[in-house]
Amino acid sequence: MKETYKQADAQFLGKPGTRRKKGPKFISHFILFAILMFSIVILVWAHYAIIDEFIVGEGKVIPSRQVQMIANLEGGIVEQILVKEGMVVEKGQPLLIIDDTRYVASYKENLVKETSLEIKYLRLKAEAEKKEYSIPEKLKEADPGGAAFEMSLFKSRQEEYKELQERKKKLQEHDDESK
Number of independent structural domains in the chain: 1
Residue 33 belongs to some domain of the structure: no
Check pLDDT > 60 for residue 150: yes
Instruction: Say what the pLDDT of residue 178 is.
Output: 76
Q: Cα(49)–Cα(174) distance, rounded to whole angstroms?
A: 89
pTM over 0.95: no
Predicted local distance difference test score (pLDDT) of residue 118: 92
Determine, yes or no, domain membership for 6.
no
Is residue 125 in a domain? yes
In a domain, 165, yes or no: yes
Higher pLDDT: 41 or 20? It is 41
Q: Is residue 132 part of a domain?
A: yes
Which tens digit of pLDDT belongs to each residue from 21-54?
Answer: 566 678 888 999 999 999 999 999 988 888 776 6
CA gap 87, 80 in Å, rounded: 16
In angstroms, rounded to a whole number, what is the distance separating the alpha carbons of residues 157 and 171?
21
What residue numbers bound the domain in which 118 lies?
A: 103-178
In this structure, is residue 128 part of a structural domain?
yes
On whether residue 155 sits in a domain, the answer given is yes
> Any residues with CB less than 8 A from the CB of 40 and at least 6 apart, and which?
none
Residue 67, in any domain of the structure: no
What gap in Å lies between CA 127 and CA 123, rounded to an integer? 6
pLDDT at 120 over 80: yes
Cα 110 to Cα 112: distance, rounded to the nearest angstrom: 5
Which of the residue ranges 10-19, 41-50, 163-172 would you say has the lowest mean pLDDT?
Answer: 10-19
The percentage of the chain sitting over the pLDDT mark of 70, rounded to a whole number, equals 73
Average pLDDT, the chain: 81
The answer to whether residues 81 and 99 touch, using CB atoms and an 8 Å cutoff, is no
